[in-house]
């Protein structure tokens, strides 16, 4: 896919990896729909950064847990530019809870995480697929997590929602071929506000240090690392579909795998 002039929707694009994806797309000359749910100020800044980078961008508020919101988001792209070439499903939420504490999560916690992390991407793909099918080509990148592969993460509900997203990636890659490619990225730790807001400054520094000691490549992912991989799946991976690519510095090889 040529990103110059392509129309791309990025959900959860106000901050972190989503904002990085939007800005890198704009640098390639793409036309970007910057979606946000609550982070309006940051999303406006992302739009400004996209325009400064040389691309076109519009802002659209929608909660991906709402099917009407997803359909409205797709329609915003069609109303402005008449097509949809790519979708990056980045919007996601979590609740921090120790896996050993079985009382820490309610059914409502699972339902809310599934609504955003699993059903949201499904609804977005469903909203965008007719336009992609009509024009004969399209690509989807689901931002998942190593949690859905290894069964570790911020909570069991988060793990389960990302595992379901990975399985759905395979199912929809089969269902939507040959016109639409569907892949997922499964990062390990990303340097975003999730963990920074979870800890104080010293606690975050220690958490990051311990992570980087435990992974073979010795590095946590930056938002730009995620964006670079997502753009590669859109632009340079024409024969790749149904893949869940581990972007985790080798975390899946086992804790303590790095030579010290």
Q: Which two tokens stand for residue 172?
A: 């929809």
d(CA 211, CA 208) in angstroms, rounded, equals 5
**pLDDT of the residue at 193:** 72
24: pLDDT strictly greater than 90: yes
User: Domain locations in the chain?
Assistant: 7-191+222-247
The strand order across the sheet containing 7-10 reads: 56-61, 31-36, 7-10, 86-89, 138-143, 180-187, 244-247
260: pLDDT strictly greater than 90: no
In contact, 128 and 138? CB cutoff 8 Å: yes
Which residue out of 36, 122, 158, 211 is catalytically annotated? 158
In contact, 68 and 81? CB cutoff 8 Å: no
Domain 7-191+222-247 has CATH 3.40.640.10: no
Say what the pTM is.
0.95
d(CA 136, CA 130) in angstroms, rounded, equals 10
Quickly count: other Cβ atoms within 10 Å of residue 222's Cβ. Answer: 15
Q: Which two tokens stand for residue 244?
A: 């869940």
Give the number of residues written for the chain.
260
Tens digits of per-residue pLDDT, 155-165?
999 999 999 99
Tens digits of per-residue pLDDT, 214-239?
899 999 999 999 999 999 999 999 99
Using DSSP's 3-state secondary structure scheme, residue 59 falls into: strand
259: pLDDT strictly greater than 80: no
Quickly count: other Cβ atoms within 10 Å of residue 210's Cβ. Answer: 11
Confidence of residue 258 (pLDDT cuts 50, 70, 90): low
Q: Is position 158 annotated as part of the catalytic site?
A: yes
Tens digits of per-residue pLDDT, 116-148?
999 999 999 999 999 999 999 999 999 999 999
Confidence of residue 203 (pLDDT cuts 50, 70, 90): confident
Q: Which two tokens stand for residue 54?
A: 């040389």
């Amino acid at each position: 896919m040529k990103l110059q002039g392509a129309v791309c929707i990025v959900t959860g694009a106000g901050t972190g990896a989503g904002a990085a994806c939007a800005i890198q797309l704009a640098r390639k000359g793409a036309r970007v729909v910057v979606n946000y749910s609550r982070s309006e100020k940051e999303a406006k800044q992302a739009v400004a950064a996209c325009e400064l980078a040389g691309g076109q961008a519009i802002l659209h508020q929608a909660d991906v847990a709402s099917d009407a919101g997803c359909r409205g988001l797709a329609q915003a792209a069609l109303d402005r530019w008449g097509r949809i070439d790519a979708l990056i499903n980045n919007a996601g939420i979590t609740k921090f809870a120790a896996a050993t504490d079985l009382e820490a999560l309610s059914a409502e916690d699972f339902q809310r995480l599934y609504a955003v992390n699993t059903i949201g991407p499904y609804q977005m793909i469903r909203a965008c697929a007719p336009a992609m099918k009509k024009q004969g080509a399209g690509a989807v990148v689901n931002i998942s997590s190593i949690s859905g592969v290894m069964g570790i993460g911020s909570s069991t509900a988060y793990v389960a929602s990302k595992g379901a997203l990975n399985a759905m990636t395979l199912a929809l890659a089969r269902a939507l071929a040959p016109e639409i490619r569907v892949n997922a990225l499964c990062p390990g730790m990303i340097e975003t506000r999730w963990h920074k807001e979870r800890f104080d400054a010293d606690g975050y520094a220690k958490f990051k240090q311990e992570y980087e000691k435990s992974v073979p490549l010795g590095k946590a992912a930056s938002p730009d690392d995620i964006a670079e991989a997502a753009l590669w799946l859109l632009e340079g991976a024409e024969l790749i579909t149904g893949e869940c690519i581990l972007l985790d510095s080798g975390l899946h090889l086992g804790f303590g795998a790095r030579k010290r």
